[in-house]
């Protein structure tokens, strides 16, 4: 006999885990099928900036306790360029709105601990090390997932299947070709991300535009700093010794008189491509997409994780409406509502990326324009407000907004 669940979820990143948690709180059963091991999923560093609506959603999902204790609320960021520093003051520009620095790794750990502690969720509601996930029955609105877990091929009948399996996942490819449109832009550079055991040299994040390329000073805690360096798209990680990383960070960040960067042991380093991607639509019959499975934004505005949470918040409410009130409205509107936000965030993330990175193809004219744009932000409250409004996050989507 085929096992059944209300919602089958592919992927245990932030999207899949949060959706399972929101559904569980409404009494809706789900099963999460994750390809990697728990250790691998919990070990990925990735993003670190949470918008207020993201923080609110995590609290509403019952996973905000450690976040409230350990998250660091920030009321501004700094832009560094042409030897000057400019603070973007959220309290003045967008009163009452701010961001919280709390690592994606911690969000994922909190969610996994909560999901695994949910005794009411039934056996195996969160499965790691699952392989070869396939779907059948989408055309008849009777989806059945097949997958291999613990050496056994299994079937799972679902009312709904949600692809939360990230950019490299399979679920997006289950849309019929004529129902699927992809928009993509790959930037000609990557980010070298570094986690270091050293106290941050700054209280707020520093986004630096330098002639040698972009650099970002972020953080995870009073003892842990996070950095990013713009590097060529085909960069070899092996060519970046710890000493070279610190040297390059100092060159790009120590541009303001008297400011010094503290260095310390590097705990982790990795490369991330800079890419924009949108898949339209985000629903085909009983298959829905959420998070990176449907869209990727370049990381400069710190939006990827926040966008994933915005999708899931809408989807959790839409599924609850369907189960509790028999209303299909939220599910019918899901794709269009998400995509409207996705394109707004895509626009902001691409704009921030072009503002702060030096493209290999940029000539001297382009470089002057870039600095002029940064000066406009420093001098015009309207320009700074536009940045601040987008950075702290667009207002949260309502169930049928
Ligand atoms: P993911 O986190 O990608 O989770 C998808 C999950 O699905 C994974 O656990 C994967 O193992 C699983 N999966 C994939 N295929 C299958 C399959 N066939 N079967 C079962 N499971 C499968 N955002 C920022 O804002 N700032 C950053 O600095 C930043 N850095 C990043 C660095 C990297 C290398 C990457 C890849 C992303 C980064 N992001 C960053 C983006 C942010 O991390 C993502 O937006 C966020 O992780 C999206 O969550 P998700 O759950 O939708 O997807
Ligand atoms: C971090 C990542 C980002 O993409 C960003 O814009 C700011 C901070 C981070 O990982 O801390």
Task: Provide the token pair at 312.
Answer: 């899931």
The pLDDT, as a whole number, for residue 346 is 98
Pocket test for ligand 1, best of 165, 205, 291 (most atoms within 8 A of CB): 165
DSSP 145-170: EEEEETTEEEEEEEEEEEE---TT-S
**Ligand 2 atom at minimal distance to the Cα of residue 300:** 6
Instruction: Please tell me the distance from the alpha carbon of residue 129 to that of residue 35, in angstroms, as a whole number.
Output: 5
Check: CB of residue 294 under 8 Å from CB of residue 279: yes
Q: Report whether residue 349 contacts ligand 2, using a CB cutoff of 6 Å.
A: no
Among 66-70, 115-119, 217-221, name the one with the lowest average pLDDT.
115-119
Q: What pLDDT band is residue 400 in, cutting at 50, 70 and 90?
A: very low
Q: Which residue has the higher pLDDT, 322 or 399?
A: 322
Q: How far apart are CA 291 and CA 304, in angstroms?
A: 8
Would the CB of 292 count as within 6 Å of ligand 1? yes
- Residue 401 pLDDT > 70: no
Provide the pLDDT confidence category of residue 398 given band limits of 50, 70 and 90.
low
| CA separation for the pair 30, 252 (Å, rounded) | 47
What integer pLDDT is reported at residue 347 of this predicted model? 98
Q: Is 204 in the pocket of ligand 1 (CB under 6 A)?
A: no
If one residue of 11, 147, 276, 345 were mutated to test the ligand 1 pocket, choosing by the most ligand atoms within 8 A of its CB, it would be 11
Helix residue ranges, H only, 254-293: none
Find tokens 């699952």 and name the residue. 130
Q: How far is CA 242 from the centre of its chain?
A: 27
Q: pTM of the prediction?
A: 0.96
Q: For the packed helices 104-116 and 14-25, what is the interaxial angle rounded to 10 degrees?
A: 40
Rounded-to-integer distance, Cα 339 and Cα 279, Å: 9
Instruction: Convert the pLDDT of each residue in 31-43 to its tens digit.
Output: 999 999 999 999 9
Q: What φ, ψ does residue 123 adopt, rounded to 5°? A: -70, 145
CA 205 from chain centre, in angstroms, equals: 17
Please answer whether residues 230 and 195 qualify as being in contact, where contact means their C-beta atoms are separated by less than 8 angstroms: no
Please provide the average confidence, as pLDDT, over all residues in the chain.
Answer: 96
Establish whether residue 33 lines the binding site of ligand 1, counting it when its CB lies within 6 angstroms of any ligand atom.
Answer: yes
- Residue with CA at minimum distance from ligand 2 atom 5: 302
> Can you tell me the mean pLDDT for 264-283?
97
Please compute the mean of the pLDDT values over residues 45-72 and round it to a whole number.
96
Among the listed residues 253, 251, 200, the one whose alpha carbon sits nearest the alpha carbon of residue 81: 253
Report strand pairing: 144-149 vs 152-163: antiparallel
Confidence of residue 214 (pLDDT cuts 50, 70, 90): very high
Q: Which helix (H) or strand (E) holds 368?
A: helix 364-379
Pairing of β 266-280 and β 206-210: unpaired
Nearest to 52 by CA among 399, 397, 394, 400: 394
Decide: 48 and 204 in contact? Cβ < 8 Å.
no
User: 369 and 351 in contact (C-beta within 8 Å)?
Assistant: no
Respond yes or no on whether the N-terminal peptide bond of residue 281 is cis (omega within 30° of 0).
Answer: yes
φ/ψ (deg, to 5) at 356: -115, -15
Residue whose entry in the numeric block shows the structure tokens 């097949």: 146
Q: Is the CB of 350 inside a 6 Å radius of any atom of ligand 2?
A: no
Nearest ligand, CA 308: 1
Distances (CA, A) of 200 to 195, 213, 220, 243: 11, 21, 9, 18
> Does 302 sit in the ligand 1 pocket, CB within 6 Å?
yes
* Cβ proximity of 20 and 115 under 8 Å: yes
- 339-354 residue pLDDT tens: 999 999 999 999 999 9
Please, which residues bridge with residue 72 across strands? Answer: 101
pLDDT tens for each residue of 155-182: 999 999 999 999 999 999 999 999 999 9
The answer, yes or no, to whether residue 397 has pLDDT greater than 70, is: no
* CA 133/CA 149 separation, integer angstroms: 10
pLDDT value, residue 122: 74
Question: Which atom of ligand 1 is nearest to 302's Cα?
Answer: 25
94: which DSSP letter? S
Instruction: Name the residue at shortest CA distance from atom 38 of ligand 1.
Output: 46
- 3 to each of 9, 17, 100, 240, 351, how far by Cα in Å? 14, 21, 40, 49, 47
Which tokens go with 198? Answer: 């050293």
Q: How confident is the model at residue 360 (pLDDT cuts 50, 70, 90)?
A: confident
Work out the pLDDT band at 395, boundaries 50, 70, 90: confident
Instruction: For ligand 2, say whether the CB of 218 is within 6 Å of any of its atoms.
Output: yes
CA of 166 to the centre of ligand 1 (A): 5
Task: Check the CA dihedral 94-60-342-228 and report its sign.
Answer: positive
Ligand 1 centroid to residue 93 C-alpha, Å:
32
Task: Provide the 8-state DSSP code for 44.
Answer: -
Rounded to the nearest angstrom, the distance between the alpha carbon of 273 and the centre of ligand 1 is 12
Q: Which residues, including other chains, have CB under 8 Å from residue 43's CB and lie 6 or more apart?
A: 105
């Amino acid at each position: 006999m085929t096992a059944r669940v209300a919602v089958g979820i592919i992927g245990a990143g932030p999207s899949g885990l949060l959706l399972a948690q929101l559904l569980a709180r409404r009494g809706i059963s789900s099963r999460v099928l994750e390809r990697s091991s728990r250790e691998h999923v919990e070990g990925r560093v990735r993003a670190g900036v949470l918008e207020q609506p993201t923080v609110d959603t995590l609290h509403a999902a019952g996973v905000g306790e450690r976040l409230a204790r350990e998250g660091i609320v920030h009321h501004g960021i700094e832009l560094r360029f042409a030897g000057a520093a400019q603070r973007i003051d959220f309290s003045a520009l967008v009163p009452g709105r701010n961001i919280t620095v709390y690592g994606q790794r911690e969000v994922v750990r909190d969610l996994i601990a909560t999901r695994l502690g949910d005794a009411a969720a039934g056996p195996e509601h969160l499965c790691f090390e699952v392989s070869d996930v396939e779907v059948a029955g989408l055309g008849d609105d009777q989806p059945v997932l097949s997958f291999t877990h613990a050496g056994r091929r299994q079937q799972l009948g679902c009312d709904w299947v949600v692809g939360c399996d990230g950019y490299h996942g399979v679920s997006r490819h289950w849309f019929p070709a004529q129902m699927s449109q992809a928009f993509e832009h790959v930037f000609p550079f990557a980010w070298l991300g570094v986690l270091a055991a050293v106290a941050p040299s700054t209280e707020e994040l520093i986004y630096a535009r330098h002639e040698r390329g972009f650099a970002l000073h972020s953080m995870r805690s009073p003892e842990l700093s996070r950095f990013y360096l713009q590097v060529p798209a085909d960069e070899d990680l092996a060519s970046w010794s710890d000493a070279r990383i610190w040297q390059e960070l100092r060159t790009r960040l120590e541009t303001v008189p008297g400011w010094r960067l503290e260095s310390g042991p590097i705990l982790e380093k990795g490369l991330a491509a800079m890419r924009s991607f949108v898949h339209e639509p985000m629903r085909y019959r009983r298959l829905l997409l959420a998070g990176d499975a449907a869209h990727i934004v370049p990381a400069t505005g710190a939006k990827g994780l926040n966008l994933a949470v915005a999708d899931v918040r809408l989807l959790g409410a839409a599924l609850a409406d369907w189960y509790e009130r028999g209303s299909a409205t939220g599910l019918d509107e899901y794709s269009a509502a998400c995509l409207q936000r996705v394109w707004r965030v895509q626009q902001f993330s691409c704009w921030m990326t072009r503002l702060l990175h030096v493209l290999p193809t940029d000539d001297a004219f382009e470089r002057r324009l870039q600095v002029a744009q940064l000066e406009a932000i420093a001098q015009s409250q309207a320009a700074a407000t536009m940045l601040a409004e987008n950075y702290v996050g667009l207002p949260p989507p309502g169930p049928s907004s």
